[in-house]
A and B are shown apart, each in its own frame.
Chain A
Amino acid sequence: MKSISLYQDKNTVIHRIDPLSKILYILVAIIVPFLLASQIASAAFILVSIIILLMGKSLKRTVPMLGFSGLILITVVIIQGIFRPDNVTPALVLGSVVFYKEGLLFALGISLNVINILMSFSILVLTTKPSDMVETFVRMGLSPKLGYVLSSVFQIIPQMTETMATITDAQRSRGMETEGNLTTRVKAFFPLISPVVMNSLITTKERAIALEVRGFDSKQKKTFLTEVKKTRSEKVIKIVLAAVLILSLIGRVLIWLR
C-alpha cells in the first residue's frame, strides 16, 4: 500500500528514539536561537539536525522540502536585500540593482530560522512512524478518539486511492475510456465516483462496527499495546536537551543583566 506519510521504515538509531525526545528537540532547536537571538545558534542547530538526519539515513528526503521553501527564501533575500527601509551599506552591485548589507543579513536570519525549523521537524516526520507519533500524543493526554482520527487518516487515504485505482481498472476493462478530452473525462466521472462513494460508505460502516465490538467507546481508561522502553540513553537525551534549554535561558538573563 502506498503511504501518504513521509515516514520511511529504516532500522537506525534515530528511528528508535522516543518521539517525545524528538518533539523536545524541535522545541529546543526553535526556542534556543530565539532566546539567544543568535544566528550562530540557528546555524549550529541546522548542523546538528543534518547530522541526525544523516544518521537516520533520511537527509536526501529533505531535499524536496528545502527546494520548495528555498524558492520562497530566495524572494525574501531579493526583496529584503534591495528594499529593506534601513538599508544603507551597499554590499553587492549588479548593474542598476543594489543589494544592501542590512537587508541581506536580515534575510539570512530569516532563512536560517526557516531552515532550522524545517530540519528539526524533518527529524520527527521522516523518522517516526505516524502511529507511534499519535500514540505519544495520546500518552501526553490527547483524547484517544482524536488520536484514532489522526492515525486513521494515514490508513484511509491510501486505502481510498487504492480502491480508486481498482475501480478505474474495472471500468476500463469494460471498455470505458478514462483518458482523453474533457467530455470523455466527464463521462467517466459517474462510473468511477459512485463505486468509490458506495465502497467508502460500506467500509466506514464496517469500520465503525469493528471498532465498537472492540470497545472503542468504552469509558474505561485505555492502556497501550506497546510499552515505552525507558532506556538510559533516552533519559540522557532528554536531560541534555533540557539542560541546553535551561542554559540558554540563563544566558538570556545574563545578557539582560549586562
Chain B
Amino acid sequence: MSNIEIKDMYFSYTENEPVLNGINLTLDSRTTAIIGQNGAGKTTFVKLLKGLLKPTHGQIFWDGKDISQMTVAQLAKYIGLVFQNPNDQIFKGKVIDEVMFGPINIGMSQEDALDHARKALSIVGLAGTEDENPYDMGLSDRKMIAIASILAMDTDVVIFDEPTIAQDYKAKEKIKQIIRQLKSDGKMVLTIIHDMDFVAECFERTIVFAKGNVLLDGPTAEVFAQKEKLTQAYLEPPHVTQLCNRLGYQQTFLTVEDFVAYVKRTLKK
C-alpha cells in the first residue's frame, strides 16, 4: 500500500508569515478528512502534496520518493486533486473530452482514456451526458464533471477540496458513495472539508489544522471527543455528537444511525 510521508515541513508565501510550521504526518490508506478554520493552511497543505507549491523546509515522500524531484505533471499520475471551483478547469465543449483531458495528459492511450472517462462519468452519475456541453449544465453537475475528470486519471491518491460546498443532499450522498467506492478500490482519499456531519459519516481519520500546525490527528471518533481542543481550533463536533453530549451520554456518537442503534440495544436490555 502506498503512503505519503511528510517530514518536518514548513511553508510560507512571504517571509515572516509562516503558513505551515513543521508538519509531520504519514498519510495511509484510511480515508482522511482535513478540517480547520479558514486560513489554517489546509489548501496550502494539499497544494504542497500535489507539488504545486514547494516546501520552504522539509520533505514530502511519495512511496519513499522525494516529490521535489518530480514535476507537477509527473506527480499527476499518482495524486489527483479536485479543485473547489469546477469553472477553474472546464474548457472543452463536450463532457467526454473534458474528462479525457487528464488521462491523455498522463499518457493513457485514446481507448483507455475513453474507457476510464466513461467509467468515471457513470460513477458520478452522469452517464449519458458525454456529448453535452459542460457549460449548459448546472454548477452541481459541473462539479461532478470535475470529480469525474480526476477519477478518470485513476490515480492512487484522490484529494478533494471542499467537495460538498453548494451541493444538495442528493449530491452529497453521491459524493459519499464515490468516496466509499474509491476506498474499496484501494485508493487513498483525502478531503478538505467544513461539513462536520459529512466528516463523521465518511472518514476514518481526521486531522485538525490550526494556525499552520496539526492540532489533532486520529480516528474521527477520538478527534471529535476532544471538545476543548476543537473549540481552540474554532470547530464544532457534528450535530448528533453535540446533541448526545448535551443529553449526557459518555460515548461519542458520530452518526444518527450509530446513536439509534445504541438506543435500540439499550432498550432491549
Contacts and interface: CB of A to CB of B under 8 A. Distances in A.
Interface string A182-197: 0000000011101100
Contacts of B73: 172, 175-177
Given A169-B52, A170-B83, A175 B102 contact: yes
A5 interface: no
A175 B85 contact: no
Contacts of B106: 175
B52 A173 contact: yes
B87 A202 contact: yes
A173 B72 contact: yes
B105 A176 contact: yes
A191 B81 contact: no
Nearest to A164: B88
Interface in B218-252: none
B77 interface: yes
Interface string B84-97: 01011111000000
Given A172-B73, A174-B102, A198 B52 contact: no
B83 A169 contact: yes
Interface residues of B, number: 25
A161 interface: no
Contacts of B83: 166, 169-170, 173
A174 B88 contact: no
B179 interface: no
A198 B101 contact: no
Contact of A195 (B71, B81, B91): B91
Contacts of A171: 89
A195 B89 contact: yes
Contacts of B149: 174
A7 B244 CA distance: 53
Nearest to A194: B91
B76 interface: yes
Interface in A129-183: 163, 166-167, 169-177
Nearest to A176: B105
A179 B250 CA distance: 56
Contacts of B76: 172-175
B88 A175 contact: no
B135 interface: yes
Nearest to B76: A175
Among A171, A177, A191, A192, the one with the most B-chain Cβ atoms within 10 Å of its Cβ is A171
B101 A166 contact: no
Nearest to A172: B72
B40 to A, nearest CB: 19
B208 interface: no
B211 to A, nearest CB: 21
Interface in B68-123: 71-73, 76-77, 80-81, 83, 85, 87-91, 101-102, 105-106
A217 to B, nearest CB: 28
A198 B47 contact: no
Given A173-B76, A174-B76, A166 B105 contact: no
Interface of A: 163, 166-167, 169-177, 190-192, 194-195, 198-199, 202
Interface of B: 47, 50, 52, 71-73, 76-77, 80-81, 83, 85, 87-91, 101-102, 105-106, 135, 149-150, 153
User: What 10 A-B pairs come out closest when comparing CB atoms?
Assistant: A175-B105, A175-B76, A174-B102, A194-B91, A170-B89, A175-B106, A172-B72, A170-B88, A170-B83, A173-B81
Given A166-B83, A194-B91, A195-B88, 13 more contacts: A169-B47, A170-B83, A171-B89, A172-B72, A173-B50, A173-B72, A174-B89, A175-B105, A176-B101, A192-B91, A195-B89, A198-B87, A199-B87
